[in-house]
Structure 1
């Protein structure tokens, strides 16, 4: 079995590679990377490394020669993400790859999404299913790792202000989702399954504030605000308008319950319970 992992220089890709190396021989792992400086580091582990990007079909073809399974780690939103995903899926089919896995998102209802970039994940899923390849879809919850960015560096002085209402998210650590994906890829046949990797519990920003208060000994409060008040509060920070809009859309989906579904899939594939919110925050904030 030869597994190609795309996007291996990102945090999720690195986690997948680390676990694959524990499960299968290094020579059975291939990595597709964009950054040249990462090539030697990966080659030193005994991994087959190919340099290229999702827009370059010829480099994708080289990377997929003699590959059985491709893990498509979703592209960033700077380019034409949907076309990039199609390039990988089309090349996999053309190259005789049997199986494809994809890192999607655990959103509850695609028809009511506020964050429309999330729809691209569902469209990629549709394209994979129509390709005829055997597939595994990993619908990952929102990374717990993003919470320091969401609440800000001065959270212990200012508290939490978000337009998320009482909405909850089944936050889980990115590293643990990468580990679970690698366990599936190296131990299971690709049988057209969809996994929802979430924590065992969902958490509101009230829960986050309470946990930070307990961990730090400093009172942290969460104040849900409306979108206009949030925009006014954020503008002086210099955040680009496009980024601010994305943050608002994320929060709107949270408020609308898009992110609160929980399953046992992550626990089952890790072989242990996922890291809880309190345990994760302790590490993420160095508390």
Structure 2
């Protein structure tokens, strides 16, 4: 049995879709949900629903019974992530889960000096917990979702004709979330038995100048790219009443990209998909094409 956490979220839902597409029987898939009403579509397909909450370790212990493979999708709440992950690991050990596939993150700097240290802490500790657990596991070092590029550059980019981010000339191995989910499904289909760490980065890496050029080509509108200092960027966005949490998150990931933390080239996803991962140009055409 394969259990997917976060089954009503984007990554979990897409992974289930691809498991079914790859021929995994619906009755061999378990969806962990907090609210059954939000997963009626999965139930209609024959997927088993189990109620569980990362904040409730006993619910997880019950939900994980009889599970051979667990897709452990990292929690979305950064502040609560570590205790929630500790609950998942405690429950997985108690239930005797066979193998865990964990969605971690790409990085080059594991220290507190990293501009994305606020993201790193829980992931690094969770990787330690996996190693200490004695359970065989696959750690996916996921690079940035390509889907987030429009969020980082802002929905007014075509009107403003400028991308404004302190990422300098740094590049990132952006990967489309759908491609990550399909590759994750393939790992589960392959039923891994050994512990492994896989780089989920695109073979091609992209800067925000590349993003500007791609949008310019697709739309016929010249889009420029400006890389201010982190201080200027932060001051400017706060002055525009952008919520402080978002400003610091955007600035942190941009600085990490400038520092080369996200510049990782890998063919792992290509190999799992049996094709080349979606390119920036293909994605931009889908989002901004006429």
Q: Give the shorter-chain TM-score range.
A: over 0.9
Given that residues 219 and 289 in structure 2 are in contact (C-alpha distance below 8 angstroms), is that contact kept between their aligned partners in structure 1? no
Matched with 2:122 is 120
5 Å-filtered alignment, 1:93-172, equals 93-111=93-111, 112-116=113-117, 117-158=119-160, 159-172=162-175
Matched with 2:219 is 216
Given that residues 145 and 284 in structure 1 are in contact (C-alpha distance below 8 angstroms), is that contact kept between their aligned partners in structure 2? no
Give the SS at the match of 1:14. Answer: helix
| TM-score computed with the length of structure 1 as normaliser | 0.96
Matched with 1:81 is 81
Q: Give the whole-Å Cα distance in 1 for the aligned partners of 2:157 and 2:91.
A: 46
Matched with 1:42 is 42
| TM-score computed with the length of structure 2 as normaliser | 0.95
Q: CA deviation at 1:19?
A: 0.9
Q: CA deviation at 1:154?
A: 1.1
Q: CA deviation at 1:115?
A: 1.1
Q: Give the whole-Å Cα distance in 1 for the aligned partners of 2:221 and 2:41.
A: 41
Superposed CA RMSD in Å reads 1.3
Matched with 1:3 is 2
Q: CA deviation at 1:278?
A: 0.6
Given that residues 9 and 35 in structure 1 are in contact (C-alpha distance below 8 angstroms), is that contact kept between their aligned partners in structure 2? no
Q: Give the whole-Å Cα distance in 1 for the aligned partners of 2:163 and 2:71.
A: 36
- In structure 1, runs of 5+ residues without a counterpart are none
Matched with 2:176 is 173
Matched with 1:18 is 17
Q: Give the whole-Å Cα distance in 2 for the aligned partners of 1:190 and 1:238.
A: 50
Q: Does structure 1 residue 255 correspond to structure 2 residue 254?
A: no
Q: CA deviation at 1:79?
A: 4.5
Alpha-carbon displacement from aligned partner over 1:94-117 (angstroms, at most 9, x marks no partner): 111111110011112212421122
Matched with 1:233 is 236
Matched with 1:56 is 56
Given that residues 156 and 218 in structure 1 are in contact (C-alpha distance below 8 angstroms), is that contact kept between their aligned partners in structure 2? yes
Structure 1 segments (4+ residues) deviating >6 Å: none
Q: CA deviation at 1:130?
A: 0.6
Given that residues 136 and 190 in structure 1 are in contact (C-alpha distance below 8 angstroms), is that contact kept between their aligned partners in structure 2? no
Give the SS at the match of 2:128. Answer: helix
Q: How many residues align?
A: 286
1:204 aligns with one of 198, 202, 207: 207
